[in-house]
Amino acid sequence: MILFSVTISTHVVLETGFYHQAPHLLGIANPIVFSFGPLFLLYTRLQITGPSGIKRRFLWHFFPFGLCLAYWTPFFLSSGEDKILQAENPSEASILGYLITTSQIILMVGYLIYVYLIVIRHRASLEETHSTVEGANLDWMASGLRWFLFLSLLLILNTVLHYLGIRQVADIIGNVVLILLVVIIYGIGYRGLKQPEIFLGEQESKTTEKYSKSTLTEEDGDRFTKRLIKVMEDEKPYLDGNLTIRQLGDLARIPSYHLSRILNERLGLKFFDFVNKYRVEEAKRRLSDPACSHLSILSIGLDVGFNSKSAFNAAFKKLAGTTPSKFRKNI
């Protein structure tokens, strides 16, 4: 956010002509923009895996930043008068400027797509091992990334219009993009501060590997499946809102890698959907029970293992085809 603030400041300096008073602010955003993609990727990986998931080779992602910094170093070391002169007479470097801007946008779009895919895979991985994904699925980040991709397309249009000389329209688009970027960046920053630690790390991710340790025989599969169903029906572990595949595996005395395979291959369900199926059935039973008529729908949802009203409604509608309130009314 600090680097983004610096970048915005340099834009304001150019637009207002303040660079005459502070010429050494000119150009500093050029290399900084190349660091946004790697920093966003770094932030995402830290959210998901913690520091242990970052290797030294990650520094290669900052190579374009270093290359651009080296190119601009002579300009940074020049006098204030020379910087003002180049800023007011950019014709010699105009083509190069467009190339740098275009490469910045292309690189940023590439990183945004890559990070978006990481977030999507992260959610899928969570659903293989956790019965509750709210607060850890980074949906807010996925939403922000979609907005970033949209703004990147506007920036490409802005660059093309500038190159064609249609500067008035380009300036309007540029200012709109700038305002939206400020809102989104600081919104993501605020949401990131409220994000609880996830840090699945290597221990959980090993569970989601496609049964690399599983030597499940047909006989064992049948036996484990019956044991799993019995545990779910008799002990109702799904009532625990934070139930994980490891905890269920320990309770049913089934290795988690075998359990994952049973759920996917035999029952055709992710762990997340498997547990929520039992929660929804339990909620339907309680919503239909006259003895529970005094309980609110939210109270029933929380009692059967859901951690929020939105999660309860979403799962109930997905599995029952209607909302909890409509289900209760139609009884």
Structure tokens at 33: 């923009």
pLDDT > 90? residue 279: yes
Query: Looking at this protein, which amino acid is placed at residue 243?
Result: L
CB 83 within 8 A of CB 23: yes
Average pLDDT over residues 237-258: 92
Percent of the chain with pLDDT over 90: 31
Least confident stretch, 168-182, 191-205, 207-221 = 191-205
What pLDDT was estimated at residue 201?
47
What pLDDT was estimated at residue 95?
67
Average pLDDT over residues 230-244: 93
Confidence of residue 227 (pLDDT cuts 50, 70, 90): very high
Structure tokens at 102: 């275009």
What pLDDT was estimated at residue 221?
86
pLDDT > 60? residue 211: no
pLDDT > 90? residue 173: no
What pLDDT was estimated at residue 90?
61
Confidence of residue 324 (pLDDT cuts 50, 70, 90): very high
CB 161 within 8 A of CB 170: yes
Confidence of residue 26 (pLDDT cuts 50, 70, 90): confident
Sign of CA dihedral 301, 302, 306, 310: positive
pLDDT tens digits, residue range 33-89?
899 889 989 988 887 877 877 888 999 999 999 998 998 888 888 888 888 877 777
What pLDDT was estimated at residue 297?
94
Which range in 3-12, 188-197, 200-209, 288-297 is most confidently predicted, on average pLDDT? 288-297
Confidence of residue 202 (pLDDT cuts 50, 70, 90): very low
Strand partners, 130: 244
Average pLDDT over residues 121-141: 77
Confidence of residue 271 (pLDDT cuts 50, 70, 90): very high
Q: Which residue has the higher pLDDT, 135 or 21?
A: 21
CA triple 128-250-235, angle to 5 deg: 95
CA separation for the pair 134, 309 (Å, rounded): 11
CA separation for the pair 45, 197 (Å, rounded): 12
Structure tokens at 197: 């630690």
Structure tokens at 326: 């409509």
pLDDT > 90? residue 240: yes
Structure tokens at 280: 């929804």
CB 241 within 8 A of CB 307: yes
CB 127 within 8 A of CB 133: yes
pLDDT tens digits, residue range 100-113?
777 888 898 899 89
What pLDDT was estimated at residue 30?
83
pLDDT > 70? residue 137: no
Query: Looking at this protein, which amino acid is placed at residue 30?
Result: N
What pLDDT was estimated at residue 4?
67
Confidence of residue 151 (pLDDT cuts 50, 70, 90): confident
